[in-house]
Amino acid sequence: MKVFVDGQYGTTGLNIHERLNQRNDVELLWISEEQKKDPEIRIKLMNEADIVFLCLPDQAAREAIKLIINPNTRVIDSSTAFRTNEAWTYGLPELSALQRGKIANAARVSVPGCHATAFVLAINPLVQRGILPRDYPVSCHSLTGYSGGGKAFIEQYETGGFSDVNDSLRYPQHYSLKLDHKHLPEMKKFTDLEFQPVFLPTVCNFYNGMVVTVPLVTRLLINQPSLQEIHAALTDYYQGETFVRVIPLDDTKGISQYALDPTLCNGTNYSEIFVLGNDDQVLVACRLDNLGKGSSGAAIQCMNIMLGLDEGFGQTLEE
């Protein structure tokens, strides 16, 4: 299979390239940094490829897709541009029993956002199982590594470019304070919620990793479920899934109140779901690597499904 990564020098593109470079079942079509702005070379490679990964800003992705005229070229896009587009397939295999088959047969797949992936994994089963009302006033908070901001943001963060606001290498910083984060449309659409959640992300002083938390008041849920019933619903929904682990309740009892480390899934395509709290107030938390299951790992998982391969193939980076 011939594969071309358009935007291979960005954070997501580099990560995908690193994973694919270890494999002997794909031929990577390469474009040098000097040639990356040459439209003829770029268009040629895009239309030679069996699979094209678009790792571009939204508008650039919209422009790039118009350049692909080969009907046999399949596209996996990592931007926000097409995630709620009905002509594209949402690249979250664990969304439902049917989603994996849709991805396998798709010509166009949109990889979910990192915050959205964790949120949908945590909440969608509770909506589908009739536990969380579709009109529930959902709130959500995310702690994430600064790599999610992209190449320019990473450079600015690591060089202290935000010191006029705060000491960026010491203190976490809330962002998207207008409550208009670009992941919100997919967070609503793929959980079947009637309203967008109130979502506050926080960028922290670690490179990658993420924990998204959603608090729930059980007296407002359907049939007022216990913590154990919420945990059982999530466990059953993800039974047999390789990359989604619902942590057993017995394993969460020993967790220190300070120990939900956002970085413990780093370097993997795994996501972990925790159900914490008590029968009156429940906290559903999802931990993942924003560069793994939150972007590049998810993209490779989708490619493997589209090619009929094991979903975990090529997911471990060599030391």
Parse the chain into domains and list their residue ranges: 2-111+294-306, 114-288
Radius of gyration of the chain (CA): 20
pLDDT > 90? residue 32:
no
pLDDT > 60? residue 144:
yes
Token code pair at residue 10: 């960005």
Residue 114 annotated as catalytic: yes
Q: How far apart are alpha carbons 224 and 279 in whole angstroms?
A: 9
Number of H helices, E strands in the chain: 10, 13
Q: pTM of the entire structure?
A: 0.93
- Candidates 3.40.50.720, 3.40.50.1820, 3.30.830.10, 3.40.50.2300; correct CATH number of 2-111+294-306? 3.40.50.720
DSSP state at residue 50: S
Residues 198-221: what's their mean pLDDT?
95
pLDDT of residue 316: 65
Instruction: Name the band, by pLDDT with cuts 50, 70 and 90, for residue 170.
Output: low
pLDDT of residue 160: 65
Catalytic site residue from 114, 204, 286, 302: 114
pLDDT of residue 141: 97
Run of H or E residues at 216: strand 210-217
Looking at CATH, the fold of the domain delimited by 114-288 is given as Dihydrodipicolinate Reductase; domain 2 (3.30.360)
Mean pLDDT of the chain: 91
31-45, 91-105, 117-131, 174-188: least confidently modelled range: 31-45
Q: How far apart are alpha carbons 191 and 124 in whole angstroms?
A: 5
pLDDT of residue 284: 98
Q: What are phi and psi of 79, to 5 degrees?
A: -85, 180
